[in-house]
Structure 1
Amino acid sequence: MKSILKAALLAGAAWSVVPTLAFAQAPAASTAGAAVEELVVTARRREENLKDVPVAVTAITAERLAQTGAVDITALQQTTPNLTLQVARGSNSTLISFIRGVGQQDPLWGFEPGVGLYLDDVYIARPQAAVLDIFDIQRMEVLRGPQGTLYGRNTIGGAIKYVTAKIGDEPEFRIKGTVGSYNEKDVVASAKGKVSDTLGVGITWAHFGHDGYGKNLNTGAEQYNKDVDAARATLEWSPTQDLFFRLSGDIVTDDSNPRHGHRETPALDFLGRPIPGGAPPANVYDTNAGAGDFNHVQARGVSLLGEWDVNDKIKLKSISAYRSGYTVGSIDFDELPAAILDIPARYSDHQFTQELQLLYTGERLQGVGGLFYLNATAAGAFDTVLSQANLTIATAGHVDTESYSAFADFSYDVTEALKVSVGGRYTHDDKTGQVYRQNFTGLKSPLFGNNLAIPGLVRSNFTSSATFEKFTPRVSVSYAFDPDRTGYLSYSQGFKSGGFDMRADAILTPSSVNGYQPETVDSYEAGLKGYFLDRRLSLNSDVFYAKYRDQQVTLQTPVGASIASQVLNVGQSHMYGVELEGVASLMSNLTANFSLGYIKAQFDEYKALDLTASPPVIREFASSRVFQNTPEWTGSVSFTYTADLGEHGRVTFTPSASYRDKFHMFEVPSSLDQAAYWLVDASLMWTSADDHYRIGLHGKNLTDERYRVGGYNFAQSSGVLFGNSVSAFYGPPRVVMLSLEAKF
């Protein structure tokens, strides 16, 4: 009750400004701003004005992304309330996503994400190669809170939609080049157009690259460099006025060097003595890692969209897609030349999805219903190499998933102002996990080329299957106070499937062969959206309260010369908070964008196996556990000033600042936790009068802030054979980029 009361008070403080804004005296005509832009989103799988959608949605257009010089989708973190979107620790293009405290820190194969990622309505099941670079884009949407009804079982925290640009009626060729700090060299080229009255073709190619922010002091290789190639191709065919087909293909290849971390603590041997050369490097982007400098990630996909307008009320839609990915690389946990704690690894995955939708638009009833099918396999192998014990623990396995869903979400106009929406989704998952884990004497196992390694204790070798099913409802009521302002109340439930721990050690944790169970989030939300001050101000606000049950937590506990992995349903927690976003037209040539997020998340129950006790026992840890990647406060503000130069075009200046409160890397507080910080950016852009040419100057992290985005914690107190290995990964330093773009 106290939590709900506090959330209500915060919401009241945020909303108390609304009457003042609605009835404030208008500024003089000479300084009055123009009406802010109306945004159309597809958060409910149909096109709607943002203010009419009873969901907390952040929508960012391609033009806005260009104005701010956004590089990839992690830029959304700076302007979206209560969102964490980062490059995963030890990788260059693996995505870590959290919304309102719900997400996935561990990107190992077989683990399910808590935030769904969609590329043109195609679900991307794995986080590898999911740090999508921004090009050929129409807009991006971030849907906060459970989206289980329309987006499925793994959108328990929310969903992110990457919507690419469509083919227009007129032929178009674009080329954009970027140069900048650290020898930044990017090129994006695209050609689109109609080859007949009914057939359109589009193709885009892109290369993104820069030198490293640091260096591997052991091998001389670059650290934090980038070498990514990407391509997309599209065919759009409209044989009749009522039929539309879109065949799309995409591929991303990342050959950047492995992103080894920065050692944060002095290295110690198994007797607690300093290891020569084991001091932390002075530059946080430097490393001494010896695990190797080869890394290769590739992801590709093809999809077919079909739409049939049966009549003016009914549309049928089919979305068929296949995606696959492959990763090979290494993680050096100790960040030293010796293999004190090294992990060579490889992953692969593939998925087929089929979705059928029926969209209905009547005078008073609108909505969508459909069926969804997924067949996916995620597999991999890695060695845990411990040179101080001349030991390697080999791990391999795969998870097969077959999922069936039926869903519907419909809105009914009770009156012109009052609308009621009801939806639900039934999901049935069949999963089979196969896990193998064995000790070998020697450095590396036969899985990674050491056929001379001596086989030892088999720690796991099992195959298990399980079925998970759940019905997740959603209901909302919205009321239009007038044509410009809408309020809503909603309840929704999210569901994330259970599964099997691919690191399971059947000796240390025998119950792991049974897998772990699903988790759910019940979310209650109230929102107010609309336009004020003669539509010169747009505000989207909400207050939420959520109950998180059977929460899945990944733990890795050093035990002797091994590491006990556990994926546990530790209990339950609750979260509440407030979110506010807006755009204000201050003058005819000056606008401001702002956002504010507050969240309080805490565990009510956290029961886990204490492997440090002898014998291990179940203990309650709620009072000493925290939420990871969930700062209490997030916020941003930016201004866009446009100077019209007449026939010489226009100049746009966009300074911005974003704030992230202190946050924890893991459920157990540690020295890796990040303090609060600000990021300051600025962009200056010239656009020709005919919109054919554009020059942009973009500065990122202008104050050169050093901030952690991930880490590994294997301190000496946890396991003496791991070298007191505490390492961190840092966000980009100050960079400046100059871009030139031509459109014909």
Structure 2
Amino acid sequence: MYPFSTRSTLLLGAGLTALLSAPSTAFAQDQAPAEAADTAEEPNSNDIIVTARRRSESAQDIPLAVSVIDARQLDETGAFNVNRLQQLAPTLQFYSSNPRNTAVNIRGLGVPFGLTSDGFEQGVGIYVDDVYYSRVASATFDFLDVAQIEVLRGPQGTLYGKNTTAGAINITTNQPSFVFEGRAEISLGNYEFRQARLAVSGPLSENVAARVAFSGTSRRGTIRNVVTGQDIQSLDNLGVRAQMLWEAADNLKITLVGDYNKQDANCCGSVFVRTGTTQRPLNRQFAALAAAQNYAPPSTNSFDRLTDLDSQLNAGNVIAGASLRAVWDIGPGTFTSVTAWRYWDWKPENDRDFTGLPIVSLSQNPSQQNQYTQEFRYAYTGDKFDFVLGAFAFDQRIDTQGTEAQGLAASRWNIAPNNALSNDPSVLNGLTARNTQFLESTSLALFGQVSWKVTDAFTIQPGARVNYDKKKGFYQRRVFTGTGTELLGTETDARSRAQLGVFQPQVSAPEDTDWNLTYDLTLSYELAPDVLAYGTYAKSFKTIGINQNGLPTDANGQPIAAAGTIRPETVDHFELGLKSQFWDRKATLNLAAFRTEISDYQATVNNGQFGVLRGFLANADKVRSQGVEADFSIRPSQRFTAYASGAYTDAKYVRFTDAPCPPELSGGTTAAAGQTPSAPSTPGGISPANCDISGQRLPGVSKWAFSFGAVGNLPTEFLGKPGDVYLGYDGSYRSGFSSNPSPSAFTNIEGYHLSNFRIGFRSDDGFNLFAWVRNAFDENYFEQLFVGPGNTGLIAGLPGDPRTWGATAAITF
């Protein structure tokens, strides 16, 4: 049996106690806006209330492409984190090889695909109750006591504190109430899946209320490590959130929030997928190197889910924080102040050679982040004008202490066979790089948006933002031999030169400042009752970046200082949309067409060698994402609801002439001036210094993505309780996509379709019991493919979850 952690065991017990002891009569409850709409008595009352524009309004009345998922849909579809949320929102992309190396993109844009650098900004902002979460690792945690999630598509910098060029995920949690209420939930499933949730709220005095929520998730891994006998890619998440609301006056509410989230998973690894022929000499490609060391992967079938990683794995991860939110109604408007502190502690251990050989024996880059934010915002609603004005301040410090060490097999793997040192394991065994780095980042902004109702049908909505950013970084790599001698980079003996070919000492301290102006204009017109057309143009920026993980080097091995800072992205965004409801508002159809062009796109450049440089940022000349989206839902009665969402996204590099080459064009002798590079996959060939990938697809983006589903219910009685029996289905499909920044034939992922089913009983007094199966047809698919270091042709991968099933019991009281 896979051990369930002590923390999760306590939480499971608490949840079961609450579930079994809860009274059978449901108390009156202040529902979240989306839940209230979902459970309204009138079948045509399908309005979903959102706060996307910093005020409560119907999602159908705002000229903005937004997907809304309420608490019930999250719970019953098992979308308990952003990874599963993407199955409900087809324009959302999520990739995570570990919590640090996580990307959340919308319409294919947001962050560059690949190894993460602290030196650039996220393009998709994650906000929880108005607090900006700068660390994308937060997207890997479980949602905690969520009322509603809004996925906003397109630039949002004139409405949100932190400039977000690709979109935003706006998460609203359940708030403290002055009526005692709560919810308890228990889930059990295969792979020893166990999840417990508990939320309790009520008054502490006449004008003070509190709410406390807990969540715990545990599951053994889905990949078996034949070396350690452990199952990796496990889940072990714990979350706690406490809120206290003080109604200081009739028009003033102050909320204090604290949260703590911890992950302690046996994670993160990969499986062998395939090999491809690169331009290295044949004796330096994977097959020959593995044979020389009598090595073979545990299986050549990735979906046997076997690996043999021989280094310690860990994804220890803590995200916590506190916030103070004051909402003051002043006349016709509302003044909001949000003061917040966020903390992130990342303690990883990885196996960067993706094999069972001791090539890289240690790879870890633990980080600690402190973030402080302050936002002031005033929202006014009038007959002719609505507006939002805001000011935002952001201060962040990240410290990282990295260690990477070579193992006994490193000499044979990293030193050319014609060099006698390749047969001496002691040359590279124990060779260690110790990295020390920090980043200080400051951002200040003034932003605002106005809605002018020219007529009852026609509205003009301009917005603007002024942003100042300052970034200051420091990076130092010191190199030590296995005997503890420090290498300074000036050594000339053959042994030292071989060691310096793997790790070079380096010091850099890039810093930069930048001002930019963001603005947008939206025109909307109500063509008929419940039919809204709109058009938007937005000029946006992603601020400067710096290469925080070290700099690329020139032909003489010297750091290229000019690569220390990265130019800001310039974004031109165009969008046309139509929002409509018909059939007495029982049906909703929303359409959007968009085109986003980004100049000086901040791309990730990967270095194929072990340890030389994990990856750095560079500017691609231009990228473009364009497409069409459709969202349809129908609710003819309280007994049946169906939905379908689809997106066609054409995202490509318009111009990127000096990109890193894919593995089939890498590893050979670098072409000199006038030389013609060899054909792809020519062993011992001539490789281009860089590649022109203009016109090729952006990584991680499927051209076609769909989400669809339906749920129906019938009245019945179960265990003496009146209620409804229901049957639900949720499906998703995405076409194939590239899993490498420079498209490669070796890393194309085929499209796949997932089907999820649930059947259950929901009583009239708040009890819900249902069984579920996810990936019901046990589809084999990859979430990501990775190019192994060293250009040996090794391709590793992360398989998606297999079929999982279980049952959930929940009660609302």
TM-score with structure 1 setting the length: 0.89
Q: 1:429 aligns with which of 466, 469, 493?
A: 469
**8 Å Cα contact 2:699-2:739 kept in structure 1:** yes
**8 Å Cα contact 1:261-1:287 kept in structure 2:** yes
Cα drift, residue 544 of structure 1: 0.7
Cα drift, residue 491 of structure 1: 0.9
Name the aligned partner's letter for residue 581 of structure 1.
Answer: D
Cα drift, residue 440 of structure 1: 3.0
The residue number in structure 1 matching 2:286 is: 268
CA distance 1:643–1:573, shift in 2 (3 Å): same
CA distance in 2 between partners of 1:565 and 1:291 (Å): 21
CA distance 1:662–1:681, shift in 2 (3 Å): same
| 1:214 lines up with 2:223 in the alignment | yes
Q: How does 1:696-715 map to 2 (within 5 A)?
A: 696-714=770-788
Deviations 1:403-445 (A, max 9, x none): 1000010101100111110101111001101011243323999
Cα drift, residue 557 of structure 1: 2.1
The residue number in structure 1 matching 2:315 is: 295
**8 Å Cα contact 2:161-2:391 kept in structure 1:** no
Q: 2:452 aligns with which of 389, 412, 427?
A: 412
Cα drift, residue 707 of structure 1: 1.6
Deviations 1:554-584 (A, max 9, x none): 1112359734733111100222110011211
Partner-residue secondary structure (3-state), 2:227: coil
CA distance 1:69–1:503, shift in 2 (3 Å): closer
CA distance 1:294–1:604, shift in 2 (3 Å): closer
Cα drift, residue 379 of structure 1: 2.5
Deviations 1:102-152 (A, max 9, x none): 122333333322211111111000112432313411100000111121225
**8 Å Cα contact 2:144-2:214 kept in structure 1:** no
CA distance in 1 between partners of 2:660 and 2:646 (Å): 39
Q: How does 1:275-286 map to 2 (within 5 A)?
A: 275-279=293-297, 281=299, 282=301, 284=303, 285-286=305-306
Partner-residue secondary structure (3-state), 1:78: coil
The residue number in structure 2 matching 1:672 is: 747
Q: 2:359 aligns with which of 337, 340, 365?
A: 340
| 1:371 lines up with 2:388 in the alignment | no
Deviations 1:500-529 (A, max 9, x none): 212223534514553111112211111111
CA distance in 2 between partners of 1:490 and 1:432 (Å): 35
Deviations 1:300-320 (A, max 9, x none): 010111011111x12111000
The residue number in structure 1 matching 2:648 is: 598
CA distance 1:618–1:429, shift in 2 (3 Å): farther
Cα drift, residue 673 of structure 1: 2.0
| 1:628 lines up with 2:699 in the alignment | yes
The residue number in structure 2 matching 1:498 is: 544
The residue number in structure 1 matching 2:211 is: 202
Cα drift, residue 324 of structure 1: 0.6
| 1:483 lines up with 2:513 in the alignment | no
CA distance in 2 between partners of 1:637 and 1:418 (Å): 33
Partner-residue secondary structure (3-state), 2:119: coil
Q: How does 1:299-448 map to 2 (within 5 A)?
A: 299-311=319-331, 313-341=332-360, 342-387=362-407, 388-389=410-411, 390=428, 391-442=431-482
| 1:522 lines up with 2:572 in the alignment | yes
CA distance in 1 between partners of 2:484 and 2:378 (Å): 53
Q: 1:686 aligns with which of 740, 750, 761?
A: 761
**8 Å Cα contact 2:243-2:255 kept in structure 1:** yes
**8 Å Cα contact 1:71-1:134 kept in structure 2:** yes
| 1:98 lines up with 2:105 in the alignment | yes
The residue number in structure 2 matching 1:7 is: none
Cα drift, residue 163 of structure 1: 1.0
Deviations 1:4-50 (A, max 9, x none): xxxxxxxxxxxxxxxxxxxxxxxxxxxxx932521011111111111
CA distance 1:461–1:38, shift in 2 (3 Å): same
**8 Å Cα contact 1:383-1:445 kept in structure 2:** no
CA distance in 2 between partners of 1:295 and 1:576 (Å): 36
Q: How many residues align?
A: 698
* Structure that is richer in strand per residue: 1
CA distance in 2 between partners of 1:591 and 1:434 (Å): 55
**8 Å Cα contact 1:250-1:301 kept in structure 2:** yes
The residue number in structure 1 matching 2:634 is: 584
Partner-residue secondary structure (3-state), 1:71: coil
**8 Å Cα contact 2:510-2:547 kept in structure 1:** no
CA distance in 2 between partners of 1:684 and 1:715 (Å): 46
Identity across aligned pairs (percent)?
26
Name the aligned partner's letter for residue 490 of structure 1.
Answer: T
CA distance 1:110–1:306, shift in 2 (3 Å): same
Partner-residue secondary structure (3-state), 1:628: coil
CA distance in 2 between partners of 1:480 and 1:610 (Å): 48
CA distance in 2 between partners of 1:271 and 1:742 (Å): 58
CA distance in 1 between partners of 2:769 and 2:101 (Å): 31
CA distance in 2 between partners of 1:561 and 1:242 (Å): 58
CA distance in 2 between partners of 1:610 and 1:210 (Å): 38
CA distance in 2 between partners of 1:201 and 1:443 (Å): 58
Q: 1:113 aligns with which of 99, 110, 122?
A: 122
Cα drift, residue 618 of structure 1: 7.9
CA distance in 1 between partners of 2:747 and 2:297 (Å): 17
**8 Å Cα contact 2:593-2:629 kept in structure 1:** yes
Cα drift, residue 586 of structure 1: 4.2
The residue number in structure 2 matching 1:171 is: 180
Cα drift, residue 709 of structure 1: 1.5
**8 Å Cα contact 1:116-1:124 kept in structure 2:** yes
CA distance in 2 between partners of 1:54 and 1:371 (Å): 23
Name the aligned partner's letter for residue 166 of structure 1.
Answer: Q
The residue number in structure 2 matching 1:507 is: 553
CA distance 1:446–1:192, shift in 2 (3 Å): farther
Partner-residue secondary structure (3-state), 2:736: coil
Partner-residue secondary structure (3-state), 1:371: strand
Cα drift, residue 271 of structure 1: 5.0
Cα drift, residue 296 of structure 1: 1.2
Range moving further from structure 2, 558-567 or 479-488:
558-567
Structure 1: gaps of 5 or more residues? 1-32, 448-452
CA distance in 1 between partners of 2:648 and 2:605 (Å): 27
Q: How does 1:121-270 map to 2 (within 5 A)?
A: 121-152=130-161, 154-265=163-274, 268=286
Cα drift, residue 255 of structure 1: 0.6
Partner-residue secondary structure (3-state), 1:468: strand
CA distance 1:564–1:124, shift in 2 (3 Å): closer
**8 Å Cα contact 2:177-2:210 kept in structure 1:** no
Q: How does 1:444-455 map to 2 (within 5 A)?
A: none
CA distance in 2 between partners of 1:49 and 1:743 (Å): 26
